[in-house]
Amino acid sequence: MTAAEQPGGAWQPARRSYAQLKQRSKAKSWVNRLARRAGGLVRPLLFDADAPRGLLRALLFDAYRQPRAPFGKAVFDRHGNPRRAFAGWMAGADDELRPLVGDLAFPELPANERIILVLLPPREVAARAALLTELSARATLLVLLTEAGVAPELPDGAAAMWLPAPAVSRRVFLKALAQRLAAYAPAYAVVGGAEAAELAAALEQRNVPVVALAAAAEAYRRQPAELGTLVGQASAVVLPSPAERAAALSLLPSLEGRVGVQAPAAGEALAPLVDRLGSAAAARVEAEIALVRSADRGRLTLDAAALRESIRAWRRERLTPVALGANKPRRPYAGFHPLIYAEAHAGACLAERRYPLAHWIEQGQPAGPWAQPVIGPPTGALAPTALKVMLHSHFHYVDLAPEFFGRLARNAARPDLFLTTGSAEKARLLERAAAGYAGRVEILQVPNRGRDAGPFFTGLRESLLSGGYDVAVHVHGKKSETSRTRIGDGWRDFLWENTLGGQHAMLDATLAAFAADPRLGLAYPDDPHLVGWARNRRAAELLCRDMGITEELTTFVEFPIGNMFTARPAALAPILDLDLQWTDYPPEPLADDGTVIHGLERLMPAIARKAGYGVASIHVPGTSWD
């Protein structure tokens, strides 16, 4: 084995220089680094030192840790999440809310009985007498009167409670009230009156499903958005009659087809409809848990408690106008991308707040860009396949070579190895590390351009095109030492565990899947995180144009995060046909996003599909990198 140097003088200019993609300037990068360092110094002074912290919080927040209206953008990011400097402190806001309703006389209700909350202004109670009477026969009723007025007559056994005019903002008071009412663990709540939308929002945020009693459509004619807000906040909305429902839909056609927008049929009593809708909403979380657990348990990545919270969080987050994926949900099921599915099924998953995974299973697991087959650990020892396999690994950090060979030894397969690195000294170290490998090894010194992608797509292009290999495996020695999050070691362990193996012979399992399915073109680790394009869409669009990819680029994207994968060379044809040159890759230091490398990484599944091949995920249960 010898190290073959590829001299820099041999570089040829590309037909199109992708290195010229606009990146963050050095000046901007320097300013950002300076700002992060300054923030690290200033933040403790502002939030840990008593005097500055008190002044800043008094400016931005009220006494209950709720942001003051003018400062929302200072407190929340563009996704609606509290900025990192405030998140921990704001998490304790519930402690400040409790005293706001501590002096109210909440009635004692029978334990272990079904409870329905009803929040109405007194003037509506008489009009809803039949509803209240029928509901009181079905459950223990707690009626909260939301405005001052004449004491109404209530059904026997119904507990009543007047809500005083709050000494704080109504919004903060309703948050405190909802927190206290949730302690009753009610089956659901029924709300009405001018505050119905606010009441619904506060209760639904506490996982209390709400059936809202809407006014006649005429009440929304001047402000139809108010009806839309009510529908968006409550689990279900009931209009007075079929005619009123039709009139409401004429005001807001977008509500057409919404399961939760109902009206009693002609001659039908209101109570059975309200109870049916409320009971269905109350049972939805458990029903969706049952749907999810009816599928392949081995692909489920959340335990029972985490799954329940994930479903509840999905429902809560759809109440606020934040971007899909703002709170960075995790993948609940291997091979399934819930955000791509939700975007394609917006009516059910966004408007109706159905949990995407449960809805997908309920619909019979339809095929689409949101789902792909999964390669799991082998159930026993696997013999080497008849496939001719090449395995490329790029080593910027050659001290990782022993781990690489240790993982490789877990498998029966002995592919031809192509090891690349950036200096003659590193090449010699790789040669020593590979001395005991029972197979062909070729070590190449390559330019420090293109990270791991350049050595594979450019340095090994001829080997990939030669026709001598059925399958190519691509990994690299990832450390990410410059990342401020220091995620490199855990990320590499996750990627290598799934691609090469360790606990299981995952290289053997993946090659067996390729041998069994000649149309499988690409497989890669099923990352638990769900990400979008970041600043890489422009690079991807340019590459799509040059590769002739016409596939729609959805908001979210499924791809081999970390750029480690197994592929048929034929499935890489669209990239290899670009004939990328070393000058197509930007020089170091490389930007975190926006380069040709990041664009190619996100397009890998689309590239394989363009070549006529399918895509699969690789999933070792229990693996993650955070």
Coil, helix or strand at residue 69: helix
Same domain? For 165 and 256 the reply is: yes
Amino acid at site 621 = P
Same domain? For 438 and 365 the reply is: no
In the block, which residue shows the tokens 């001829």? 462
CATH code, domain carrying 603: 3.90.550
- Helix ranges (H only) for 268-392 are 270-293, 304-317, 338-344, 346, 356-362
- Do the beta carbons of residue 164 and residue 145 sit within 8 Å? no
Same domain? For 571 and 449 the reply is: yes
Q: What is the pLDDT of residues 139-176, one digit of tens each?
A: 999 999 998 878 789 999 899 999 998 888 888 899 99
Q: CA–CA separation, 377 vs 163, rounded Å?
A: 59
Same domain? For 414 and 523 the reply is: yes
pTM above 0.75? yes
Q: Is 364 left (phi over 0), alpha (psi -120 to 50) or beta?
A: left
> How many CA atoms lie within 13 Å of 409's alpha carbon, on the beta-carbon side?
10
Amino acid at site 90 = M
Same domain? For 344 and 265 the reply is: no
Task: Give domain status of residue 519, yes or no.
Answer: yes
Task: Give domain status of residue 137, yes or no.
Answer: yes
Same domain? For 540 and 402 the reply is: yes
List CB contacts of 436: < 8 A, sequence separation 6 or more.
405
What is the average per-residue pLDDT within 525-546?
92
List CB contacts of 354: < 8 A, sequence separation 6 or more.
288, 348
Task: Give domain status of residue 191, yes or no.
Answer: yes
| Token couple for 561 | 């995060």
| Distance from chain centroid for Cα 181 | 30
Q: Which residue has the higher pLDDT, 597 or 28?
A: 597
Taking CA atoms, 11 is separated from 140, 448, 452, 583, in Å, by 80, 12, 17, 7
Q: What is the pLDDT of residues 195-221, one digit of tens each?
A: 999 999 999 999 999 999 999 999 999
Task: Give domain status of residue 534, yes or no.
Answer: yes
Q: CA–CA separation, 554 vs 535, rounded Å?
A: 14
Residue 341's pLDDT band, with cuts at 50, 70 and 90, is: very high
Q: CA–CA separation, 355 vs 342, rounded Å?
A: 8
**Crossing angle of helices 506-516 and 488-499, rounded to 10°:** 50
Strand 159-162 to strand 565-567: parallel, antiparallel, or no bridges (unpaired)?
Answer: unpaired
Same domain? For 532 and 480 the reply is: yes
- Nearest Cα to Cα of residue 227 among 204, 249, 199: 249
Q: Which residue has the higher pLDDT, 442 or 67?
A: 442
- Do the beta carbons of residue 230 and residue 217 sit within 8 Å? no
Highest mean pLDDT among 48-52, 55-59, 313-317, 510-514: 510-514
- Do the beta carbons of residue 269 and residue 130 sit within 8 Å? yes
Task: Give domain status of residue 331, yes or no.
Answer: no
Residue 50's pLDDT band, with cuts at 50, 70 and 90, is: low
Domain residue limits at 576: 3-19+375-379+387-618
Task: Give domain status of residue 80, yes or no.
Answer: no
Q: What is the pLDDT of residues 57-91, one digit of tens each?
A: 777 877 777 777 777 667 776 556 677 667 777 77
| 384: exposed, middle or buried (Cβ count in 10 Å: 0-12, 13-18, 19+) | middle
Same domain? For 188 and 308 the reply is: no
Q: Which residue has the higher pLDDT, 40 or 162?
A: 162
Residue 5's pLDDT band, with cuts at 50, 70 and 90, is: very low
Taking CA atoms, 178 is separated from 194, 201, 310, 601, in Å, by 17, 9, 21, 46
Q: What is the pLDDT of residues 551-594, one digit of tens each?
A: 999 889 999 999 999 999 999 999 999 999 999 999 888 888 88
**Crossing angle of helices 424-433 and 401-408, rounded to 10°:** 30
Q: CA–CA separation, 175 vs 180, rounded Å?
A: 9
Q: CA–CA separation, 224 vs 251, rounded Å?
A: 6
Same domain? For 482 and 605 the reply is: yes
- Nearest Cα to Cα of residue 146 among 171, 127, 118, 167: 118
- Do the beta carbons of residue 239 and residue 263 sit within 8 Å? yes
Task: Give domain status of residue 34, yes or no.
Answer: no
Same domain? For 300 and 253 the reply is: no
- Do the beta carbons of residue 159 and residue 143 sit within 8 Å? yes
Q: CA–CA separation, 383 vs 377, rounded Å?
A: 14
- Nearest Cα to Cα of residue 609 among 335, 437, 372: 372
Q: What is the DSSP string of 254-275?
A: GGTT-TTEE-PPTT--HHHHHH
Q: CA–CA separation, 250 vs 479, rounded Å?
A: 58
Task: Give domain status of residue 88, yes or no.
Answer: no
Total domains in the chain come to 3
To which H or E segment does residue 313 belong? helix 304-317
Same domain? For 357 and 439 the reply is: no
Same domain? For 413 and 561 the reply is: yes
Q: CA–CA separation, 55 vs 482, rounded Å?
A: 36
- Nearest Cα to Cα of residue 179 among 237, 285, 92, 251: 92
